[in-house]
Amino acid sequence: MKLVQFEPLFIRHFSTTTWPFPLHSHNHYELMYIGYGKGMHELNGVRSSYAGGMFFFLSPEDSHDFQIEEETQFNVIKFLPAILKGGTNSSATDYWDHLIRNLVRKQQAITDILPEAGHINSARTMIGLMISAWLDNDKKVTEVHTHLLRALLLTLDKGMNDTDDHYKGDYAISKIERIQNYIHAHIRHPEKLTMKQLSAAFNTSESGLKSLFRDSMGMSLGQYISSLKLEMIKERMISSKATLTEIAHEFGFVDSSHFNSFFKKMMGMAPLGYRKRNN
């Protein structure tokens, strides 16, 4: 089972005695902090015990599951790489790509993240700040969360030692992840997301690209692009004062009529009605 997320950053905070998901993978990265509790964590077929105070960092290539023995508090930060790179230059983008790959490589070496004491205290504080800001803002993500996420990833990376020489090689980002990153980077430019442009960008035939995406994501490229665009439009409508005409232009619609038709087809209601209901 693959859980597909369209939001660049998503937060979940809950306590439970039964893990609510089957064995699954994601299309995003996932940072988990265990506030309290104990049980077993299965990661890519390898079972290990977990307890309060542990961090886990999962890549889109990972599959995992939990067997809970004592009520456990999960603090979960799910993100797509695009959230780290917004408004940055290419060298900064390369930096975040490298840092994420480095964290995945270290996670593969040690099963769970156990940074040095000073760093784990800092990381725990940052997680707490992210959760508190999320709860105080009606469980909505803000720019504050983006800055805290960057600081959190930097702290974890600096606090983790390379514990196993067997894992000195770099983690390679998969083709499907590179395709997702490309789509997120160009979601406001529909002319760059045609099948012809995508197949050229990834040196793959159109039929091969369609098959790869559907097999990996469980949906078509068109469905993914439309769903991602919808989520970003909804967030823009709620969090900004931009007019609907300005938002339509921002996301590459020819005119307001095409924008309204797209939104109504996806949501079953007009964008103006949606905005009024959520503001």
Per-residue confidence (pLDDT) for residue 86, from 0 to 100: 61
Q: Average pLDDT, stretch 156-166?
A: 60
- Torsion sign (Cα): 114, 120, 126, 132: positive
**Residue 271, pLDDT above cutoff 80:** yes
Q: Average pLDDT, stretch 231-253?
A: 92
Per-residue confidence (pLDDT) for residue 199, from 0 to 100: 94
Per-residue confidence (pLDDT) for residue 117, from 0 to 100: 60
Mean pLDDT, all residues of the chain: 86
Which of 131, 118, 114 is closest to 56 using CA atoms?
Answer: 114
Query: C-alpha angle 276/233/142, rounded to 5°?
Result: 85
Per-residue confidence (pLDDT) for residue 89, from 0 to 100: 44
Confidence tier at 90 by pLDDT (50, 70, 90): very low
Residue 16: strand pairing partners: 72
Who's near 34: CB < 8 A, 6+ residues apart? 50, 51, 52, 53, 54, 55, 56, 72, 73, 74, 75
pTM tops 0.85, yes or no: no
Per-residue confidence (pLDDT) for residue 239, from 0 to 100: 82
All domains of the chain in start order, with CATH: 2-167 (2.60.120.280), 175-278 (1.10.10.60)
